[in-house]
Structure 1
């Protein structure tokens, strides 16, 4: 693998740490900004919405810029937003910071996937994407706990500054490792948007949103499930999250290697395992031993489906940044909706509802795959090369 692929993975780790770290900083942010815990928690939603709606717009705006130059601009935009957050004394300033960093993060995710797909041969795209998207997994395993530790040691502003420093390092590494290539021959906006007329492409987006929505319906409420249902002490919960994170890293390695040659099989198997696993987890959530096993399997099977999902989307369309940014946006929409539905379930039926919600969403993903097969989608997403927009070779 080219060194640039690993650099892109490290960059996504740094950017995504900003997205997830707010969950660990809620009490400090609430005190520091003088708002309620609920208002501080809404900063997570603000970031997600910024990725859903702002990322594609920024990608379209920069579509004619050379990839390396566009990445540099995204880093600069992110650093500006993160600095606003580190200096914020009012809630509105933090909201602005979250919107700005979300725009840069979503656009960078799409561009990083596009550049990655053009750095390696077509038969290694899934493995390369597993490395790049691995940054997302590592952010959950190490970024969130590290930011929480820095907050406890030096305050939440120090956590924001730490990410600023890491992203500045990423900027230097990208400049040194990613080759400069001319801007792609970008068509006009109408032509570029014409690819979204494909029903099979939107079917793939729907599958991706449902699969990751199923994962996050459960993940969003894991802490109370583990303490209130399984009976774990609060002190043990961070270790259980690490176990979940280890599962995602191992799953990312295994499924990333299978994503190229067995794209659709990975998605089918992932959907079936998620539906069965989450349904069983809802039934046995009071058992600590079985909860531990379920956590690892959820990590192994859920987020590591990303390389196969992205590979399928690119084979149905192209490897351009806009396609990959839209894929990120639809996944974020799935995360938002899945978490919201799980919350409704918790209010109505208790803490086993998130697993049942996730199981139903996974079944929905399987239905979308069945419809894609009926429409001939399977034939278009098996072996074959990914249409490429530009080549950084």
Structure 2
């Protein structure tokens, strides 16, 4: 079958639309995303240390991840709105948010009680959500419209590498030097990221005072919210399954606990590979990539659920989920940027919606387990959300075929 490019792409009919080399700031922002994402998920690797240090349960330690996500979901768009209201340009706004992230990171590194640690995590989440929105806008403005998907895939490579490299490294630091050293390492990385972005990202050659009113007006767009919905459903479907992969493989599949790190690393590698491949295709074949990715994701989830006790099938479908799950993000972002001008608020709300979908999928998966439906419940939840994701694309697909 011959692949036809997505005709909604504004540059597809132009000659020479092959993306050129990416500018340096795209890679610098990917490094910053690596730092913030490592910070978001690092708690998962050092839970016993934090539980002992603060005298709280593992469940309460897990809430530190949720608080970071809550900061991103609610605080990210609010921080972006404040910067727009104050008419702060993109680069200064990004630097202010990175400085706020450094402040939150310092607070977590010196925390003497759980409440202080929780506050620091919320501050980090607010800054991270705002950074994503403004940073993606800067990257979109630095490349041609037909290269935005590839730029996004490179930026998100920083996100993909965080669980593969960043989180294990932080866990190793905790085991060697203690949990404070782990959080101090994030402080150092955040300071370095702030400095290199301050030096390496050029200031805009023109005023970029996107006022708050026009930014909010951009959100009154049905096509944009349809794109947001698809993003939330894909992340919800993926994380409904991923969040519970450890007990699924140890208690249901019967693998030893020692196999979990290798599975996690393999899943992370699949994420990176899938992300880079999708980034190459996202601009020209946006809809086809999303339809294919969601179809394969749904198939992998239902096969995993039906044959969870078969180790080879479970491992294989888990890797497929890594290849076709959140790796759809470049295509999702390309669709969002096509539905509305990729301003800071549009991108910040996209990040917020993704985080909300992730949290909802994880919550629904846990609810299914608690309701007595067993460890395969999150897989069925993920399958249902993937089907809804396909339905969210159906009206647009029908218009394309008409």
TM-score by length of 2: 0.91
Question: How much is the aligned-residue C-alpha RMSD, in angstroms?
Answer: 1.2
Whole-angstrom CA distance in 1 between matches of 2:381 and 2:210? 41
Question: Where does residue 273 of structure 1 map in the other structure?
Answer: 296
Asked whether the equivalents of residues 200 and 372 of structure 1 are also in contact (C-alpha less than 8 Å), the reply is: no
| Ranges in structure 2 where 5+ consecutive residues have no aligned partner | 1-21
- The Cα offsets for residues 245-280 of structure 1, whole Å up to 9 and x where unpaired, read as 000011011111000000111111111111111000
Pair 1:20-2:44 in alignment: no
After superposition, what is the alpha-carbon deviation per residue over 1:97-143, rounded to whole angstroms, capped at 9, x for unaligned? 01100011001111111111111111111111100011111011111
Relative to the length of structure 1, the TM-score reads 0.93
The aligned residue for residue 351 of structure 1 is: 375
Give the conservation status (yes or no) of the 8 Å contact 1:245–1:299: yes
1:292 offset after TM fit, Å?
2.1
Is 1:360 matched up with 2:381?
A: no
1:151 pairs with 2:174: yes
Match of 1:96 in 2: 119
Q: Does the alignment pair 1:45 with 2:66?
A: yes
The reply to whether residue 62 of structure 1 matches residue 83 of structure 2 is yes
Q: What does 1:289-328 correspond to in 2, within 5 Å? A: 289-328=312-351
- 1:84–1:93 CA contact under 8 A, matched in 2: yes
What SS is found at the alignment partner of 2:202? coil
Quote how far apart the aligned CAs of 1:147 are: 1.1
Task: Give CA-to-partner distance per residue, 1:69-122, whole Å, 9 cap, x none.
Answer: 112111110111011001101111011101100011001111111111111111
Structure 1 residue aligned with 2:99, among 37, 57, 76? 76
Structure 1 contact 282–352 (Cα < 8 Å) conserved: yes
Unpaired segments ≥5 residues, structure 1: 380-393
Q: Aligned partners of 1:205 and 1:305: how far apart in 2? A: 13
Structure-to-structure mapping, 1:1-393, within 5 angstroms: 1-63=22-84, 64-181=87-204, 182-187=206-211, 189-347=212-370, 348-374=372-398, 376=399
Output the CA distance in 1 between the equivalents of 2:285 and 2:72.
29
Q: d(CA) in 2 for partners of 1:274 and 1:354?
A: 14
Q: Give 1:191 deviation, angstroms.
A: 2.8
Per-residue deviation, residues 179-207 of structure 1 (Å, max 9, x unmatched): 011441323x3332112221221111111
Aligned length: 376
Deviation track 1:345-366 (CA, whole Å, cap 9, x = no partner) reads 1122111111111000000111
